[in-house]
A and B are shown apart, each in its own frame.
Chain A
Amino acid sequence: MAAEEAGNGFNIHPMDQFVVKPLFGHGDILWYTPTNVTLWMGITVLVIIALLVLGTRGRAVVPSRSQSIAESIYVFVYKMLEDIAGKEGLKYFPYIFTLFIFILVANILGLIPGAFTTTSHIAVTAVMAMAVFTTVTLIGFYKNGVGFLGLFWISSAPLVLRPILALIEIISYFVRPISHSIRLAGNMMAGHAVIKVFAGFAGALGVFSIFPIVAIMAVYGLEMLVVCIQAYVFAILTCVYLNDALHPGGH
């Protein structure tokens, strides 16, 4: 990157957008320092309030547009949870809904040019994934006791294969939080970095910058899709893990 900078007009720094900066001054970033993370998470909260609280303040039987959006998201997550984890899973609806709406709104806000994408950071997604992993594991043991280990002992397989399958299942179980978090952060980071790289080309190509600009538009459209799908994937996997904890024999 430094070489490019020195060599010609290319000024491509796709990772700069992910840098955490203090909002005020240039001091150290301590755990409580208000940073751009704070700013964009705050905006996320405000957007969620605007959508789900202010948008539904009419409490109308025939909904307004904003209320209709809020209801659609609610019903979407509710049905997803009910379909995957059953009636018992509905108890955990507020948690799933919190994760889904936070990731969705943060992802979409990240697409605003110049915005900081909080969900592109592994620190953020890993905390959520670990929270899901820990909670789901605890629920599994709490609800089923030792029977939860039956999740790894596949009784439908031939007896000889079971120990091997158990090993594979245990490994895949512990890989879950890693894949869960890296999938989201990786998607966010990659898409934004690609856009930034094309933007760098656009700055250097003069009249031919039309090509990178068209490419940016295409990638941006794709990213619109990806941010929603990733929020959905995160939520649906959470539901699947929850279902495993509630019904470990349900293979």
Chain B
Amino acid sequence: MASETHAAVSEHYVGMPQLNFEWFPNQIFWLVVTLVAVFFILNRIAIPRIANVLAERHDTIQRDLEKAEELKQKAVEAEDAYNKALADARIAASQIVAETKAAIQKDLDKAIAKADAEISAKTAEGEVKIKEIRDNATKAVKVVATDTAVAIVDAVMPAASDAKAITAAVTTRLKG
């Protein structure tokens, strides 16, 4: 059988090489060696390594997603804070406006009061002066009237010239 096979190998093979049982032990032996080698390479090195990488990637993606979620949360918080600050600023601004308005009003009131006081003081002063002038005028009129009356009486009826009586009469007349 062995010599036949050699002949077949050196020439051309007749029949199916797959059914040559002489080669079976050789093929089976090397197959077992190969499979054991492949199994150890995979089981010891390749599978743990790939499994690690896949797990790590899964973790990384998970972590990144969580981080993104966190950042999103932070952004929402920041927006809220911004809105709150904006509202606070609005309130503060309106308060300041109101305060300023009040202060201005107060100053204004004070100034008006002061002005009023000054005006009334000046008015009073003026009135005093006017009264004085009027009194003076009245007095002057009285003097002039008395003098005139005395002169007229002296000229008309020198006998009835009585200074006191004339003065009293003028005074009475002026009052009336």
Contact surface of A with B, Cβ cutoff 8 Å: 1-2, 5, 13, 15-16, 18-21, 26, 28-33, 35, 37-38, 41-42, 44-45, 48-49, 52-53, 56, 59-61, 63, 67, 70-71, 74-75, 93-95, 97-99, 101-102, 118, 120-124, 127-128, 185, 189
Report if B115 contacts A (CB, 8 A): no
Asked if A63 and B53 make an inter-chain contact with CB atoms under 8 angstroms apart, the answer reads: yes
Interface residues on B, range: 35 or more
A123 touches B28 (CB 8 A): yes
Q: Which of B18, B39, B49 contacts A189 (CB 8 A)?
A: B18
Interface-forming stretch among B9-17, B120-128, B147-155, B162-170? B9-17
Residues in B lying within 8 Å of A, measured CB to CB: 2, 6, 8-10, 12-20, 22-35, 37-39, 41-43, 45-47, 49-54, 56-57, 60
| B-chain residues with CB within 8 Å of residue A99 when the two chains form the complex | 35
A61 to B46, CA, bound (A): 16
A18 x B46 contact (CB < 8 A): no
A101 to B37 CA separation, bound complex (whole angstroms) = 12
Chain B positions within 8 Å of A71 at CB level: 50, 53-54
Contact call B17/A20, Cβ cutoff below 8 A: yes
**B contact residues around A26 at 8 Å (CB):** 6, 9-10
Q: Which residues from chain A contact B37 at a C-beta distance below 8 Å?
A: 45
A128 CB contacts on chain B under 8 angstroms: 31, 35
Partner pick for B23 among A16, A29, A56, CB 8 A cutoff: A29
**What is the bound-complex CA distance between A44 and B45, given in angstroms?**
17
What are 10 sample pairs from A and B whose C-beta atoms fall under 8 A apart? A18-B18, A20-B20, A28-B2, A48-B42, A53-B49, A61-B53, A71-B50, A118-B31, A121-B23, A123-B23
Q: B41 contacts A48, CB within 8 Å?
A: yes
Q: Which of A21, A44, A45 contacts B9 (CB 8 A)?
A: A21
Contacting residue for A49 out of B15, B23, B41, B47, CB 8 A: B41
Q: Which residues of B contact A37 (CB under 8 A)?
A: 23, 26-27, 30-31
Contact of B14 among A1, A52, A56 (CB under 8 A): A1
Q: Quick check: B39 and A95 within 8 Å, CB to CB? A: yes
Which residues of the partner chain B approach A118 to less than 8 Å between Cβ atoms? 27, 31
Q: Contacts A52-B46, A93-B47, A120-B18 given: A33-B9 contact, CB under 8 Å?
A: no
Q: Pick the 7 closest A-B CB pairs, nearest first.
A: A31-B25, A52-B46, A18-B17, A41-B34, A123-B27, A20-B23, A94-B43
- Are B57 and A61 closer than 8 Å at their CB atoms? yes
- Distance of A41 Cα from B49 Cα, bound (Å): 24
Tell me the complex Cα distance, A142–B23, Å. 35
Contacts known (A53-B46, A59-B53, A75-B54); A20 close to B26, Cβ less than 8 A: yes
Distance (Å) between the CB of B42 and the closest chain A CB? 6
* Complex-state Cα separation, A209 to B17, whole angstroms: 28
The smallest C-beta distance from A22 to any residue of chain B, in angstroms, reads 9
B13: which A residues are within 8 A, CB to CB? 13, 15-16, 18-19
